Amino acid sequence: MQILAINGSTRNPSNSGLMIQKLLADVTYTQISLADYQVHEIIDQRHDDRTWHQKPDDYPKLITKLMAADLIVVATPICWYGMSGLLKNFIDRWSESLATHPHFKEQIAGKQLVLLVVGSDNPRLKGKLIVSEFGYICDFLNWKLTAAVIAEGHRPRDVMADQKAMAMLSRINRQLVGLVKKK
């Protein structure tokens, strides 16, 4: 099972990154920290009469990693009641792949997704919008949203004090370790 973790935080170290580490302890995975890459915003050309113009950046390398993964872990801070701009920008570019790669949607179908969300200001309520958004993304792509963990954390390392979230991450980790060992 190939696991890809996508960290949408601009901080390093970040609460999102700590959640990934806790979730994927003792499991082999590849991590993308979007802050370390250049991904240009999408220029929507779906309705233009010309060939789609792609800007040179790191997106092709990142989407190749996503396509190879069986399980995708997405971690994001809550930014203005939504996912981080880095993560939104990356996901927006999937429209480009839908337009430029034949059978893209079919090629990425069947993946599993674990969503990790962290923020302050009542995140378990306000983070539900992000979970809903990813539910729709998974429906569209024929993915399965297998788990969503919403944690509280404002300053670096705060998330480690959220005992409920840490317990959920540990529980999911045990399931993942069991799955990986069976294969």
Which sequence spans correspond to the domains of the chain? 3-39+57-182
Coil, strand or helix at 73 = strand
Q: Which CATH number fits domain 3-39+57-182: 3.40.50.300, 3.40.640.10, 3.40.50.360, 3.40.50.720?
A: 3.40.50.360
Run means of pLDDT, 10 residues per run, the chain, 183 residues: 97 95 97 97 78 85 97 97 97 92 94 97 95 98 98 94 98 91 66
- Sign of the C-alpha dihedral, residues 148, 154, 155, 160? negative
Residue that the structure tokens 């993946």 belong to: 111
- Looking at residue 183, its pLDDT comes to 60
User: C-alpha angle 12/18/20, rounded to 5°?
Assistant: 110
